Chain A
Amino acid sequence: MANTETNPKNSNLQTGGNILRLKLIFLIVDWDKARAVSDVIEEGSCPLVFLTKGQGTAQSDILDLLGLGATDKAVLLCVAEALETPTLIKTVRHAMGSKSAGAGIAFTVPLSGINAPLMKVFLEAETDAENEKTQIAKENPKMADNDTTVSGPIAIKNELILSILNNGFSDEFMVAARKAGARGGTVLSARGLSQQIVKKFLGISVQEEKEIIIILADKDKKLPIMQAVSNAFGISSKAGGVIFSLPVDQVMSLNEI
């Protein structure tokens, strides 16, 4: 057995069924729950958690105009081991408490690659758990016959539609998406980094404001939604939208337990 630390190409780390399968978990919860949720995740077996603030989209135009529509949302991204996700989600649901109707959703996207040091973190966490906090083993002989490994294809029932638009188009975008069957969406503000757009102003780079819209849709709704918005908000329109979808393999509601 080779030492994983000195030889990162060790077969333990390579694919082939003997490896932990990692997933990216998206958790979208009410902003005031963000702290509670991120605390729970960090305590759990998830060493990588990132948080950003998003805006929920309103159910109706009138409510939105009155300022009672869009709620603040926290979007948490965390990388976790596939078998851990159900337990992780369960603890999150407990942390959010019982009064959490409509408070959030979680879904996972399978990872197709990760850089080696991060993988090691997960392997070590795994070993850690198994050795019950004894000294961290640098090698992991158990991995080879570990039955926590997953194999076989991943079933995809939902899709994540990511749309990156110029600033200010999210309202109209959501109206179109909703008509085509989207249930809701979350808007994140972002900056564009494309080569042609970056301008230098007094030596500092000034970038275009962008909005990223996350819509979780059923597999069969994906195409209608994407078609509906592509015309009016596509790359050649004023909105300059880049619209694509990602496979989602698990969706879990974070509503009442």
Chain B
Amino acid sequence: MNKILQEKIKEAFSSVLPITAIVLIASIILVPMSAGIIVMFLVGAALLIIGMGFFTLGADMAMMPMGEGIGAQLTKGQSVFMAVGVSFLMGLIITIAEPDLMVLALQLAESLNPWVLIITVGLGVGLFLSIAVLRILFGIPLRFLLLFLYIVTFGLAFYMQSAGDGAFIPVSFDAGGVTTGPITVPFMLAMCLGVASLRGDKSSKDDSFGFVALCSVGPIISVMVLGVVNHITKVTPQIPSDESIALIDKYTDRDVVVQFVEHFPETIQEVAMALGAILVFFVVFQLITRRYKKHQLARIVIGFLYTFIGLVVFLTGVNVGFIPVGSLFGSKLGQSELKWILVPLSMLIGYFIVAAEPAVHVLNKQVEEVSQGAVTQKTMNTGLSVGMALALGITMIRILLGIPIMYILVPGYGFALILTFFVPKIFTGIAFDSGGVCSGPMTSTFLLPFAIGACAGSGGDTMRDAFGIVAMVAMTPLVVIQILGLVYGIKMAAKAKGLGGVTAGAGEVILFEEEYTYG
């Protein structure tokens, strides 16, 4: 069989199967579910595998070369205004088209016009994307920028707390994770690499990451500002009601299929809109720069098609198949006597769910590439898994004990920011990027309903405790990946010592004068 095809199939299976198996086994032992729901979940998982395969192939073929090309061309263009203008517009457009943002906007619809939120977040991302480009061009260290931005963020958060809008804080942090979805992430990762790649100086590699990081802070700040200005206090979570879940209990196999089929057109529309925005941007770009030759263009178009198919299939699978299971799981366990089992169980789920986030593969691959294989995909995956396990463990403890989110976010981010001064620079970029990368569709469709269910089941305050799971998922990788970087830095330093000893005759050249015979 074709080597690449084989690899992609293996990757897709190994990302989705572990989490499917764990949920199945846990449901048999702890939360027996009706056959209808299980069939739905399994069909969803099958769609996830297919979707994941197409998506990662498409991202390699289309999204990455496109993003990298646009990034490289921005630097080549030699005009700061052009670079800033283009990246602002691009950030705005792709954010507005992001389907996850629409979901968030609808949750806040009762106190805010959805479009006000979407435009505000879009402006936020656009602004921060141009800041990110400027940062690389001017060579401002990422850590200072992040330090400054997070101080602003937490300043705002404390102001909100004192003004009595504290309940809105978790939602704001969630918005940060939500806006960087599977469509924007590969694109931004590649674009950052492209901008940094043409720089000839020593630190260009260190700046190969950091776009996603900055673009995740933007929405947090802009949503917080909106919250302060509009005094939003009501958030309606978008999870299926108990009745609709009870209905699924009685589903026949045909009903299940009908559910998926009914959901397809909606997803197609969402994905088409989001990808369409990028496509339009790309066509304009190609017409102006003529960067890609015929053959490459054909490849990109086909890759685009793969991405489209992959995302539609993946998102349908996850939206229809995973939400009810997550929600039921959480609420049944939350109500039961055994609710403390939520902590280890959710950590286990977290450990394996990372691999099922589509954007994670793109990040891991790019890390391996930029580090020329020194940091392998496997290492990154393990790091992110540990991060996610921690995030879910903390969230569940928080839900069960009702610990305010700031008690965890402040020390967490504080520690992460202190670490930036000790780890190799490139790892700061990777770590802060991975925060946005981990909080993708799996988090919002499975983990969030799971947390909301657990919270409602155990009698907690959903708004205050369950929301914020995304914030947690976006925070722990910052710490874990940077610690990984610390270890890596120490290792590299030890290795560099090995060859440094020989200095004698450094200016001498030895010649081997030999003849060649051809024959």
Which A positions have Cβ atoms within 8 angstroms of B?
4-6, 8-9, 13-15, 19, 21-22, 30-31, 34-35, 38, 47, 51-53, 61, 63-69, 71, 74, 102, 110-121, 153-157, 168-169, 171-172, 191, 193, 198-199, 201-202, 204-207, 209, 219, 247
The 7 sampled A-B contact pairs (Cβ below 8 Å) are: A15-B512, A64-B299, A65-B298, A65-B302, A66-B302, A116-B504, A117-B505
Q: Which residues of B contact A157 (CB under 8 A)?
A: 519
Q: Looking at chain A's contact residues, is the secondary structure mostly helix, strand, loop, or mixed?
A: mixed
Q: How far is the CA of A52 from the CA of B205 in the complex (A)?
A: 14
| Residue among B57, B298, B503, B514 making CB contact with A117, cutoff 8 Å | B503
Q: How far is the CA of A154 from the CA of B513 in the complex (A)?
A: 11
Q: Which residues of B contact A172 (CB under 8 A)?
A: 293, 295
Q: Which residues of B contact A110 (CB under 8 A)?
A: 512, 514, 516
Nearest CB in chain B to that of A115: its residue:
B509
Q: Which residues of B contact A120 (CB under 8 A)?
A: 502, 504-505
**B299-A205 in contact (CB<8A):** no
Report the minimal beta-carbon distance from B315 to chain A, rounded to whole angstroms. 21
**In this assembly, does B250 line the interface, its C-beta being within 8 Å of a C-beta of chain A?**
no
Q: Which residues of B contact A9 (CB under 8 A)?
A: 508
| Residue among B306, B503, B506 making CB contact with A67, cutoff 8 Å | B306
Known: A204-B199, A206-B198. A113 touches B504 (CB 8 A): no
**In this assembly, does B137 line the interface, its C-beta being within 8 Å of a C-beta of chain A?**
yes
Please, how many residues of chain B have a CB less than 8 angstroms from a CB on the other chain? 54
**A67-B299 in contact (CB<8A):** yes
**In this assembly, does B234 line the interface, its C-beta being within 8 Å of a C-beta of chain A?**
no
**A193-B200 in contact (CB<8A):** yes
Best-buried of B291, B376, B503, B510 by chain A (most CB within 10 Å): B510
Q: Which residues of A contact B199 (CB under 8 A)?
A: 204-206
**A201-B512 in contact (CB<8A):** no
Known: A67-B60, A67-B306, A172-B293. A115 touches B508 (CB 8 A): yes
**In this assembly, does B80 line the interface, its C-beta being within 8 Å of a C-beta of chain A?**
yes
**A201-B78 in contact (CB<8A):** yes
Q: Which residues of B contact A201 (CB under 8 A)?
A: 75, 78, 137
B65-81 vs A, Cβ < 8 Å mask (1 yes, 0 no):
00000001001101010
- Segment 471-516 of B: residues with Cβ below 8 Å from A: 499, 502-516
Known: A22-B512, A68-B2, A116-B510. A206 touches B76 (CB 8 A): yes
B290-303 vs A, Cβ < 8 Å mask (1 yes, 0 no):
01110110110011
Nearest CB in chain A to that of B298: its residue:
A65
**A168-B291 in contact (CB<8A):** yes
